[in-house]
């Protein structure tokens, strides 16, 4: 049996400012940093074989900060397979040092939903301009994207195949995997893990900085209770 840890990044500076963020690459707020440390405390005794994160700094920061609390003392090392000299010159030439690392893979396929023309806009002011019902549909419907942005359906269309092709094989090998990502990409993955339909997935509320843990055994996923953070439904 292996374990999958899903972790939504801590509060970002734009979360704090109530702005649509999407693919804008902003860092964690002070509260978000604390949330990352707290998440690390929760999983500090759980062996982690591979870390998967996104190309956005708030998810990467969350994973790195969380792992500073890990009991193994292993150092997360970000891999750059397409990074030119970063890959070539970033080789580790000590087997002892290599054994004390955890590989970190990053991908844009698990990035947050791209909010298009809403990115950088204040959520309250946008609701006043376009109407609360319209903004609610952009944010909460399954297949209605904001102008020039992505719907949850479109986010799932990239997140779920990545999970199946890149993460599932690691779990089948018996490795424990930590995914540090975003609210909508993680909702997409949970939709797959829990076999939710497009109405059920809309009810998921994934808290920031709270690990959600699954057991994987013989092709089946089950929520690790009570270690896993409860997922609320609205």
The catalytic residues are 9, 112
Peptide bond into 226 cis (omega under 30): yes
Please give the Cα distance from 26 to 56 (Å, whole number).
Answer: 8
Please tell me whether residue 20 adopts helix, strand or coil conformation.
Answer: coil
Distance CA 25, CA 58 (A): 7
Interatomic CA distance for residues 170 and 177, integer angstroms: 7
Continuous segment of H or E residues that includes residue 39:
helix 30-42
Q: From the centroid of its chain, how far is CA 184?
A: 8
Confirm if 31 and 10 have CB atoms less than 8 A apart: yes
Q: DSSP letter string over 70-120?
A: -TT-PEEEE--TT-THHHHHT----HHHHHTEEEEEEEGGGSPPP-GGGTT
Of 122, 108, 124, the residue nearest 55 (C-alpha): 108
Nearest to 216 by CA among 183, 179, 180: 179
């Amino acid at each position: 049996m292996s374990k999958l840890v899903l972790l939504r990044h801590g509060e970002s500076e734009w979360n704090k400012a109530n702005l649509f963020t999407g693919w804008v690459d902003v860092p964690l707020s002070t509260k978000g940093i604390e949330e990352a440390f707290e998440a690390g405390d929760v999983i500090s005794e759980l062996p982690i074989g591979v870390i998967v994160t996104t190309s956005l700094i708030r998810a990467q920061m969350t994973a790195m900060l969380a792992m500073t609390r890990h009991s193994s003392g292993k150092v997360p090392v970000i891999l750059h397979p397409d990074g030119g000299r970063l890959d070539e010159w970033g080789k580790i030439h000590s087997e002892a040092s290599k054994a004390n690392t955890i590989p970190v893979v990053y991908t844009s396929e698990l990035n947050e939903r791209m909010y298009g023309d809403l990115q950088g806009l204040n959520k309250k002011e946008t609701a006043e301009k376009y109407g609360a019902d319209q903004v609610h549909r952009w944010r909460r419907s399954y297949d209605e994207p904001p102008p020039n942005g992505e719907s949850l359906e479109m986010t799932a269309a990239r997140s779920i195949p990545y999970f199946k092709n890149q993460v599932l094989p690691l779990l089948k090998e018996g490795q424990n995997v930590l995914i540090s990502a975003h609210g909508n990409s993680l909702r997409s993955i949970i939709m797959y893990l829990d076999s939710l339909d497009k109405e059920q997935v809309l009810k998921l509320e994934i808290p920031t900085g709270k690990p959600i843990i699954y057991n994987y055994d013989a092709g089946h996923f089950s929520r690790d209770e009570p270690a896993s953070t409860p997922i609320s439904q609205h």
